[in-house]
Amino acid sequence: MLHGCTQDAAGYDHGSGWSRLADEQGFAVLYPEQQRGNNANLCFNWFNTGDTQRDAGEALSIRQMVSAIIEVHGIDPSRIFVTGLSAGGAMASVMLATYPDVFAGGAIIAGLPYGTATSIPEAFDRMRAHGGPPAAALGKLVTAASPHKGPWPTISVWHGDSDATVSHANSALIVEQWRSIHGIARTPNTVEKGEGYLRRVWRDAHGHDVIEEYCIAGLGHGTPLNTSGPEACGTAGPYMLEAGISSTRRIANFWGLSAGRAEVTRPRPSTARLSADTSVAAEPYAMRPRSQVASSGVGRIIEDALRAAGLIR
């Protein structure tokens, strides 16, 4: 579970409710936490090439943590998943691309596709869905990130259509990146219109759901929550947003972690032991309320957005 900028592991856990759900359903959770010494804004370095490559930097650190918890707690290595919000969502994209042999699936919340930014100006542009490689090239960024040839992780994508921090257009780019990897058609197999959301599902040749995308109507930048009723999970707060739908519960269901759901697994990854004592570096985009942006001048908007995004200090 990868937190966003300005957040920490405990705060993200409290808001998202993942530990509560883990207690209910009997699975383990791991929360890598950024250190201020690595990034002043507590963001994961999703655009820094030194941290987004296999067996290097931040991606390696997180991989080592996963290896350690598998070994210490005897966890099934074929049922490992990753999710994150904002910067953490972009870092989840990194982990899925660089270690597709480790993760059976991932969920990217208000994040970006892998490998589309390699500098500060590019990162800021991609947050606004400006520029970047053509859609046809997105899948190649993933295949070039590791020697893995498949099978590939399942992907769950969540984004609010009123996100003023990371453009909702990034959701479609993530879907396109992984649709190419899975070799499936552009047209979804299922379209589900719910109260306040639209869900689209793509299936592989065997009829398995491999990609799902949730567009949450009117939602800004944050993790969608349902905080009341029998399906309540999590606590609303900054960037943890009441939406009448629990992304936490639905992601767990998609992964087969909920009772009664088919398990999502992959062939066991390498059991080579990795050290878990490497420091984590991190950082991504801004997580500022829209009202704050509206009160600033153009120059201040750009400067503040870059700073809040972790792109400058």
Catalytic residues: 86
What 309-312 contacts at long range (C-beta under 8 Å, 24+ apart), as own/partner pairs, is: 309/5, 309/41, 309/43, 309/123, 309/124, 309/127, 309/284, 309/285, 310/5, 310/39, 310/40, 310/41, 310/43, 310/87, 310/283, 310/284, 310/285, 310/286, 311/47, 311/120, 311/123, 311/124, 311/285, 312/120
Contact 148, 88 (CB under 8 A): no
Task: Identify the CA nearest to 243 among candidates 258, 259, 221.
Answer: 221
Would you list the DSSP string of 87-104? HHHHHHHHHHHH-TTT-S
| Rounded CA separation 148/75 (Å) | 22
